Amino acid sequence: MIVIEISEPVFQFLGGIFHQDIEAPESALDEYLEEIPKEGQETDIAALKDFFNSDYSDEEKNDFIDEAADGVDVLSYGVSPIIWLEQVIQKIEKNIETLT
């Protein structure tokens, strides 16, 4: 099990944006990028990177992402949950650059 200090902000990010009630993950991410201020996005990126840099196995990380982002069928993207989340992080980082 992934410790709460690492998992809680990641779970809140994924579960808050990519839950079962969204129309599409892309539109949910676009909404996040429009509504969350730069500082909030930077905080989320830091938490996500802590998660990626943790000592947990890829399998544990994949399972956690799958569970937390229950509104996303990650396999339909043809990548693992880790790769999918890395792509999400890249989009957020790119957005932060435009806000500077």
Number of domain units in the chain: 1
Read off the pLDDT of residues 36-79 as tens digits, 9 standing for 90 and up: 999 999 999 999 999 999 999 999 999 999 999 998 998 888 99
Q: What does the pLDDT read at residue 67?
A: 92
**Residues in contact with 25: Cβ distance below 8 Å, sequence separation at least 6, in sequence order:** 18, 69, 71, 72
How high is the mean pLDDT of the chain? 91
The amino acid that residue 16 corresponds to is: G
Which pLDDT score is estimated for 5? 67
6: helix, strand or coil: helix
Q: What is the dihedral of CA 94, 11, 16, 81, to 10 degrees?
A: 60
pLDDT at position 92, please? 97
* H-assigned helices in the chain: 4-17, 25-35, 38-52, 58-68, 81-99
What pLDDT score does 21 carry? 86
Instruction: Give residue 58's domain range.
Output: 4-99
